[in-house]
Structure 1
Amino acid sequence: MAETTARLLHLLGLLQAKAVWTGPELAERLGVTTRSVRRDMERLRELGYPVQASRGLGGGYQLGAGRALPPLLLDQDEAVAVAVCLRLAAGGTVAGVGEAAIRTMTKLDQVMPASIRAQVAAVQEATVTVEYQAATVDADDLLVLARAIRETHQARFDYVARTGAATSRRIEPYRLVATGRRWYLMAFDLDRDDWRSFRLDRMTEVRASTFGFTPRAAPDAEEFIRRSVHSGWDQEATLRLRCAADEVRDHVGGWGRLTPVDEHSCELRVGSHDVELMAWWLLRLPVDFEVLDNEELVAAYGRIAQRVDRLTAGR
């Protein structure tokens, strides 16, 4: 009986981890026969879990939506990850999630073993979250897109580009990417027959389709979004930094492209829609630099220098 109960818990965890499992896949993971898998599925249904089964290509077992949310089975690493993410979500960029995240943290804390609670506490005590203005996204839109990605279903939405142009998009969604300030979707645009990136805060009327799709060979999502974000800037500049690239790589992060020149210097390519903001941001770098190709950025530093002179006059 204990072995059967443990297997049912393992089976429930597998169903929660992946959208659809075939009988042979589950039998291999559980170390039993497909007949045992069918019996275990019936036991889960008797316990009230909405297990669904479908035949044919792409068919299998999946955990459907029921009237009650079944208990989630989390291992130690998953519990720590969830607790830390909930803390960040409490002050994050998804509209309406903060209060729900706090309630969920409270519930999770009540059932966490002492060892896991200590790990979460250690991470939280060592972390400081600096607030800044970020573009918030609709939680329902985020969930619709995440579910469409998981189930490989097409999606549709209305979109307003940076230029103000409004369009309707029909896409195959592949990845959601959070940059800290914004959420992006990497998708294949069916009408334009090409890969595109979309800001979630510019979407409206997001809905998933019932049409499935076969995943294409996709580019690396992080690199694709980084290139998309950095393209089309109103202002771009190349700087010569007086240090090796590795010395400033952590300071630059994903907001610029570093190219080593020699062991004592490197070049940084950056862009922005506001030359003044770019000038102030670059002053955060811990090394001196030379602007190679943007006279407007040089002029912005002249204005900054004049302001500093006024502020320090007579001191």
Structure 2
Amino acid sequence: MAATSARALKLLSIFGIGATLTAEELATRLGTSVRTVRRDIDTLRDLGYEIGAVRGAGGGYRLGRATRLPPVVFDEDQAVATAVALQTVPAVLSGIRENAARALATLHQAMPARSRSHAEAFTVSSARNYWEFPAPPIDAETVRAVGSAINRRHLVRVDYAGDGEPVTLTLEPHDLVVWAARWYLVAFDPDAGRWRAMRVDRCRPHPPTHASFARRDIPHGDPVAFVMSAPDRGDAAADWPCRGSAVLALPASTVARFAPGGSTVEYDTETTCRLTLGAWSWPGLAGLLLTFDADLTGIEPAELRQALHSVHTRISRGLSSGQPEERQDRAAAPGP
């Protein structure tokens, strides 16, 4: 019985990769006979796991969707990854902290001593780093509603709070992207005939539509690349003690890709855009603008202009103070 249970658990772990495998392939991996593999598959089915038989070329067995929630089997690395994820998810999803804590406690209780020791070595505490410019955690119910529509390929109706009054949109939702601690919906707007990258925390989903749609090809062929290069993705300048803007001599799509979270990018021309962002000090804000290594114009407000002047003065003074020493070093260096 112990050998059978251990073999069934290993079989379940193999099925967990999502592949379709023949009975012969499974027997080879388990070091047993095809007949034994089929008997173990029946055991797993009795426990509530839906293991389907795929016929024809390339057929075999694969793990399907369970009709009830059966026990879950993790190997040690999977358990550690799950433990870390459960500790960090409350930083990006609200209303889930208690459930994540209970799931983590259940996971630890179910682990053997060795695996539990490894998982507990990854005990972490999440804290805000001001360079991350994070957004507040998003409501898990909103993510669930939008994600369900994506999974089922159903149209979704949302009230979207953009720059002006909220508008009601009917969208073809394709993907959810988490970037810079923000959730974005990649969707096609059939009424406007264009793609949108939208902040999910600004969406208020209506009841499910149950109306299906056909998937389209996403711009750039990748939802992440689309979100990162979209300047009009619904971001807003974060509430910082110092906030300013400047026109950068770079395309909006380029600046949008590298702008810190909590900033906004506005299209100006094909080769310029206005970046609005904040920081904890005016020199800090000036430093963020300088990281783009581009010409700056239209700098606002006056405090930001003064900070840039101060940075320029300090850098010039530092370079000037180093020149005599550099000349001496060159003079003392042996000739060719």
On whether the aligned pair clears a TM of 0.5, the verdict is yes
Q: Aligned pair in 2 of structure 1 residues 123, 276: CA closer, same or farther (>3 Å)?
A: closer
Q: Give the equivalent residue in structure 2 for 1:297.
A: 300
User: Which range moved further: 207-216 or 223-232?
Assistant: 207-216
Query: Is contact 2:108-2:116 (8 Å) kept?
Result: yes
Q: Which residue of 2 aligns with 1:223?
A: 225
Aligned length: 269
Question: Deviation of residue 303 (structure 1)?
Answer: 6.1
**TM value normalised by structure 1:** 0.62
Percent identical: 27
Name the CA distance, whole Å, in 2 between partners of 1:174 and 1:119. Answer: 34
Q: Could you tell me how far 1:89 is from its partner in structure 2?
A: 2.1
Higher CA-based Rg: 2
- Partners of 1:43 and 1:124 lie apart in 2 by 36
Aligned 1:213-292 pairs, distance under 5 A: 213=214, 216=217, 219-229=221-231, 235-238=245-248, 254-255=258-259, 271-272=275-276, 281-283=284-286, 292=295
1:139 matched residue in structure 2: 140
Q: Which residue of 2 aligns with 1:313?
A: none
- TM-score w.r.t. length of structure 2: 0.59
Partner AA of 2:105 in structure 1: T
**Which letter maps to 2:44?**
L
Change (3 A) 1:194 1:287: closer
Change (3 A) 1:114 1:78: same
Aligned-partner Cα distance in 2 for 1:123–1:140:
28
Contact kept, 8 Å, 2:286 with 2:304, in 1: the verdict is: no
Counterpart code for 1:129? A
- Tell me the equivalent position of 2:201: 201
Match of 1:244 in 2: none
- C-alpha distance in structure 1 between counterparts of 2:274 and 2:112, whole Å: 47
> Given the superposition, is the C-alpha separation of residues 222 and 119 from structure 1 closer, same or farther in structure 2, using an over 3 Å criterion?
farther
SS state of the match for residue 296, structure 1?
A: strand
8 Å CA contact 2:176, 2:183 repeated in 1: no
Which AA in structure 2 matches 1:196? R
Q: Does residue 1:30 correspond to 2:40, yes or no? A: no
Shift of 1:63: 1.5
Matched residue of 1:100: which SS?
helix
Deviations 1:46-91 (A, max 9, x none): 2234668999xxxx9621342xx3222222222222111111124x
Q: CA deviation at 1:156?
A: 0.5
Q: Deviation per CA, 1:267-294, whole angstroms, max 9, x where unpaired?
A: x98722x577795653465989987333
Map of 2:128 onto structure 1: 130
Q: Which runs of 5+ in 2 are unaligned?
A: 56-61, 238-244, 251-255, 261-271, 310-336
Q: What's the CA shift for 1:114?
A: 4.2
Shift of 1:166: 0.7
* Structure 1, unpaired ranges of 5+: 241-251, 257-267, 307-315
Distance 1:104 1:154, change over 3 A: same
Of the structure 1 ranges 158-167 and 231-240, higher mean CA displacement relative to structure 2 is found in 231-240
Measure the CA separation in 2 of the matches of 1:166 and 1:16.
42
Deviations 1:81-121 (A, max 9, x none): 2111111124x131211121122222222233444444444
Provide closer, same or farther for how the CA distance between residues 225 and 279 of structure 1 changes in structure 2, counting only shifts above 3 A: farther
Taking only aligned residues, the RMSD between alpha carbons, in angstroms, comes to: 4.8
Matched residue, 1:99? 98
Instruction: State the alpha-carbon separation in 2 of the partners of residues 36 and 134 from structure 1.
Output: 53
Partners of 2:176 and 2:186 within 8 A in 1: yes
Q: Distance in 2 between matches of 1:31 and 1:12?
A: 13
Q: CA deviation at 1:155?
A: 3.9
Contact 2:146 2:173 in 1 (8 A): no
SS at match of 2:71: coil
Amino acid at match of 1:203: C
Aligned residue identity for 2:275: G
